[in-house]
Amino acid sequence: MSNFIKTLFGDYIENLYNESCNDIKCIFENLNQVKLQNEYKVLKAFKDNKISDSHFKTTTGYAYTDLGRDGIENLYKDIFGTQSALVRLQFVNGTHAIGCALLGNLSKGDILFSITGQPYDTIKNIIGLNNVNEQKGSLKDLGVSYLECNLKDDGNFDIENIIEILNKNRNIKIIYIQRSRGYSLRKSLLPNDIKDIVKIIKSVDKNLCVFVDNCYGEFTDIIEPTNIGVDLMAGSLIKNIGGGLTPTGGYIVGNTDLIKNAAYRLTVPGIGGECGASLTDLRQVFQGLFIAPHIVVEAMKTAIFTARIFEKLGYDVYPKYDVKRGDIIQAIKLNTSDELINFCKEIQKNSPVDSFLECEPWDMPGYNDQVIMAAGTFISGSSIELSCDAPIREPYVAYLQGSLTFEHGQLAILNSIKKLTQK
């Protein structure tokens, strides 16, 4: 392998590669155990639910009876250890699923309380934190108030402040936790981090609903937030849980009453989750879920490799290569906007799809700054496939995620480093 790397990239990068691979070897052994335990959990759910070829068939019309739809929701319910699940291709993305979960369970006079600071850019529109002209139908427009408490400088929950706000505001109904870093440099949250804060929240008021945005977090650990007290959780099917095969959609898992309310937002009250035809072959949805534990670890290996080799080049990376991770995202702080843009362009050039295209910053809907997105993916916008995006603002941070294979991740990163070091 070393000779192959040397031939492609030269002596300098070969040395970086060999040193980095040696440093991360033990971490990879631990990740393989995470993968094995998660695959056991997924396999058991498939066996317990007697999944068969008949679950893969399409349905049309009202689809009051949809064996595949019911089958995939039963799998999610069992894998996440919840009472119910709503898993639909009709969700256009993870933001849509999160929006249905919140809008379905909050009403006028209620308060949404984020304990991880301001959420990801697209979620601000759901809450109503952006331009007034874009707030029609938002929580704010519907009379729901919003409070937030930032994480402490070390990335941990500000417990004292959280308790104080909970005691002063008895109309708080949902506690919002964003597991992933989003476009920030704070640490991603581990299930055990969430477990501790859930205990504290429930000790103040056991009826409070704890919601987790689980995007980028699925299968990065052997437990999920819903295994340790979280009431409601949502995510995207074109991120971790879809395994790179699921073509679109999102999921919500949690307590039955909360899921019913979310389903009324996806469709309408009175119908909820009882309708919704599977207009496409569900085989990809089932198969994507089955291979997801393996694919997630491939993405995590790519992130760890990237962190180590960029550290060796003198760049700041978040998290460091040897820090336990709660998501698949690797942040790399670059020196200038040009360096940031060029790095993203190199990821695009080393993609299996649309490698011949040049990605450019643009005014992406739902974001306050121009965003550049490198995503030469088989599923449009899939971030379990190798992709990279960044808002064009200081500090100039690229957010890398995904990779269906660690081998592809290595090649793309090494080619990007070759370009950076040449400049």
Instruction: Tell me the CA distances in angstroms from 347 to 298, 374, 390, one per residue in order.
Output: 17, 6, 12
At 423 the pLDDT is 63
Q: Are strands 84-88 and 250-254 parallel, antiparallel or unpaired?
A: antiparallel
> What phi and psi, each to the nearest 5 degrees, are found at residue 66?
-140, 100
CB 156 within 8 A of CB 96: no
- Give the domain 59-281 fold: Aspartate Aminotransferase; domain 2 (3.40.640)
Q: Two tokens at 17?
A: 């590669």
CB 336 within 8 A of CB 402: no
What string of pLDDT tens digits covers the 423 residues of the chain? 668 999 999 999 999 999 999 999 999 999 999 999 999 999 999 999 999 999 999 999 999 999 999 999 999 999 999 999 999 999 999 999 999 999 999 999 999 999 999 998 889 999 999 765 557 899 999 999 999 999 999 999 999 999 999 999 999 999 999 999 988 889 999 999 999 999 999 999 999 999 999 999 999 999 999 999 999 999 999 999 999 999 999 999 999 999 999 999 999 999 999 999 988 889 999 999 999 999 999 999 999 999 999 999 999 999 999 999 999 999 999 999 999 999 999 999 999 999 999 999 998 876 778 999 999 999 999 999 999 999 999 999 999 999 999 999 999 999 999 998 886
User: From 3.90.1150.60, 3.40.50.2300, 3.90.550.10, 3.90.1150.10, which CATH number describes the 2-41+289-422 domain?
Assistant: 3.90.1150.60
At 131 the pLDDT is 64
Tell me, rounded to whole angstroms, the distance of Cα 367 from its chain centroid. 17
User: In the chain, count of helices (H) and strands (E)?
Assistant: 11, 12
At 364 the pLDDT is 80
**What is the signed CA dihedral for 14, 17, 18, 19, rounded to 10 degrees?**
120
CB 250 within 8 A of CB 266: no
The residue extents of the domains of the chain are: 2-41+289-422, 59-281
At 135 the pLDDT is 76
At 124 the pLDDT is 92
Please tell me whether residue 411 adopts helix, strand or coil conformation.
helix
At 121 the pLDDT is 84
Element (H, E) at 209: strand 209-213
CB 396 within 8 A of CB 339: yes
Q: For residue 147, with 0-12 CB atoms within 10 Å meaning exposed, 13-18 middle and 19 or more buried, which class applies?
A: middle
At 308 the pLDDT is 98
